[in-house]
Every structure is written in structure tokens, then in C-alpha cells.
Structure 1
Amino acid sequence: MIDSDPELHTVPPDRQSDGQQPRWRRDFPIDWPQDHYVARRDFTKFLCLTSFAFVVGQCTIAFQNWRRKRRGEPPIVKIADRQQLAVKQALVFHYPDESEPCLLIRTNENEFVAYSQKCTHLACAVTPEFDANQLLCPCHRGFFDMTTGRPSAGPPRRPLPRITLRVRRDGVYATGVERRVV
């Protein structure tokens, strides 16, 4: 008795008989009708593994947030000597750790400002444009005011995180990070 259900038989993709198939195809048969069929068990396994991956991701984010809050105050770090930076010059430094690039800018003889160098839109590196007194994000032409860090044009909607500074005779020190909301 031959079963006529096509899903129960292995059918080669070129529909030729088994004797006409190349040797490699006999070693690796393809069950063409069963290829698009997904069993409930496979679907449930996929669903559980995907859900587990999302849970692990959320737990990782929560743990990093908890760890970041427990660190407390960021360290006080010397960035540069006062004479190292001329007026209308910028210096890239990392604060509070090596993964956070920042920009120290000397706007006039006695004033320094520092911001995170990551644009608040998509984290591209911002660069100073001293003639226009602004910071430019070249990825999507976003502009920030150099004195306040607030967005002035383009896609960014949030201001750049400002690095609080302490200027002394011997140098410029980073003392913390201000995360501001518009």
C-alpha cells in the first residue's frame, strides 16, 4: 500500500528519480515538502530561546545601571595644563572612563567648557567649529551651541552631557558629568 500524502515522502528539488540523482544528493537528501513545515515543538523551543535572550538582555541592562549607580561620584582627573590649550582650541580626553570621549574647549582667555563628544542623536563624534561658535555632528548635520551644549539645528533634541570643570593655576580638572534634560 503506497501512501499518497506528499508530505510523507522525500522529493528531490529537481523532481528526478533517486537513481538519476548525483552522489552528493544521495548523501544529503532534502525533504522538500517537509522543509517549510515547522513543528509545534520547534516553534516553542524557538519562542522560549528568544524570550530567554530578551530576559538576559534586560537583566544585563539592569545590572549595568545598578553598577553605574553604585560607583558614586566620578573621580577628579587633571585634563590639561592651562597653557597647553590656546584660545579657540580643543582637546580630546576620556572621562569618567576610557570608553567616554570628551572635548575640552577653551572659548576665551579665562573660560573652559567640556562636553561629551558623543552626539545625543546617534553617538557620532562632534567637532568644534570656532568661527560659528558651535559643535558639529557630521553624521546628520546636527549643531550644538558651544557655550551651552544645547542643540541648535538638526536631528539632536537633547543637549550634550556637560563635564563639570575646576580650573586652577596648575591646570584644568574634570570633576563630574551633568546629564541635562531639555
Structure 2
Amino acid sequence: MNEKIPDWKSEFPISQADTTDVTRRQFAKFLCLVSGGLATGSAFVAVKSALFSEKKVIGTHRVCSKDELPVGGTRAFVLEGSSTPYILIHLENGEFKAYEQKCTHLSCAVFYKPGTGKIECPCHNGWFDAMTGEVVQGPPPRPLPRLEVQVKGNDIFVTGA
């Protein structure tokens, strides 16, 4: 019996086993493409932050009243005229502290762990001291930016940096 080879096999002479092989040249092209994309993205972020830096918000801003924030509780807020998220913490010792809610490592959101005196960044297991904002553990390179907190009567105010 003489079998005839289908037309598509003569037009596409690559066997199925050969389709999974990647040559060094193909791998190098792919590596250059991905590296170039990452470099371009990093350059874009650097240029954007240098040219379009966020305006500093100056002045005193009301966040909430003392009755709205129980001991060990937190309140997220954004200052008027800014897009930076902040967190107000009512510590177990009665003090109020306010920090930027973005980790200084990769800008993940940070959260206060009641009873521990620590602020956690769950992305890479980073920890900050809730009293000072200093790094306690993990990859964050610097402390959390802090706002000054003032209690006037029953209201809590923060002073923009």
C-alpha cells in the first residue's frame, strides 16, 4: 500500500517533538525582550516620580473624634489634596499615632496588629514599631513616614508633613 502524505505535512515539515525545543538564540531573544520591558517600565516609574512628584500637604487636618476610634483600633484616611493613604492608630497605652499606610519596601498596605505594638506588612513579612514607625524586622529599608497627631477636645487632628 502506498500512502500519500497529506499536503499540510509537506507545507509544515516540523515534527511535533521538535515544536517544544527552544534554541539558545530564541531563548536569548526572549530574555532580551523581557529585560528590555522591565528596564523600560522601571525608567518610566523613575521619570514619573521625578517629574510629577506629589504635592506636599501642609496644615492641620481633622481625622475623626476620639469616640470613633476604640483602643487598639485603626482608621484609614487620606488628607485633602493628596492621594497618599494614611492610618491612624489608637494604641493600647492611650496614645494616637499616624503613619503612611504604604510599606517603605514595595508600597504594600500595612496593618496594625492590636496588642502587639507592631505594624505588619504582609507582602514580605516586614514589621514596624507602632510607637516610632521604625523597622523591627524584614526587608523595609527605612521607617514609615509619620504625621504629628494632636488631640483637641474630642477631635483628633494630624499635621501634614
TM-score range, shorter chain: 0.5 to 0.7
Q: Offset at 1:103?
A: 0.9
Q: Distance in 1 between matches of 2:152 and 2:64?
A: 11
Rounded to whole Å, the distance in 2 between the matches of 1:67 and 1:78 is: 27
Cα gap change, 1:67/1:166 in structure 2, threshold over 3 Å: closer, same or farther?
Answer: farther
Q: Is residue 148 of structure 1 aligned with residue 132 of structure 2?
A: yes
> Equivalent residue for 1:94?
78
Stretches of structure 1 lacking an aligned partner (at least 5 in a row): 1-19, 25-50, 178-182
The percent of aligned pairs where both chains have the same amino acid is: 34
Task: State the match for 1:74 in structure 2.
Answer: 57
Q: Note the aligned Cα RMSD (angstroms).
A: 3.8
Q: Quick check: 2:102–2:110 contact (8 Å CA) kept in 1?
A: yes
Report if the CA contact (8 A) 1:165-1:176 is conserved. no
For residues 108-156 of structure 1, give each alpha carbon's deviation from its aligned partner in whole angstroms, at most 9, with x where no partner exists: 33x2101111111121111111222101111111111010111111222
Structure of greater relative contact order (alpha carbons < 8 Å, 6+ residues apart): 2
User: Counterpart of 1:159 in structure 2: which amino acid?
Assistant: P
Amino acid across the alignment from 1:122: L
Judging changes above 3 Å, is the alpha-carbon distance between structure 1 residues 167 and 23 closer, same or farther for their aligned structure 2 residues?
farther
Q: In the alignment, what sits opposite 2:111?
A: 127
Match of 2:50 among 51, 56, 65: 65
- In the alignment, the residues of structure 2 paired with residue 138 and residue 146 of structure 1 have an alpha-carbon distance, to the nearest angstrom, of 15
Larger Rg: 1
Counterpart of 1:84, as a letter, is E
- The count of aligned residue pairs is 145
* Contact kept in structure 2, 1:119 and 1:126, CA below 8 Å: yes
The 3 A distance-change label for structure 1 pair 58 and 86 is same
How far off its partner does 1:166 sit? Answer: 2.8
* 1:61-97: CA deviation from partner (whole Å, max 9, x where unpaired): 55653553xx764144211112211221111112332
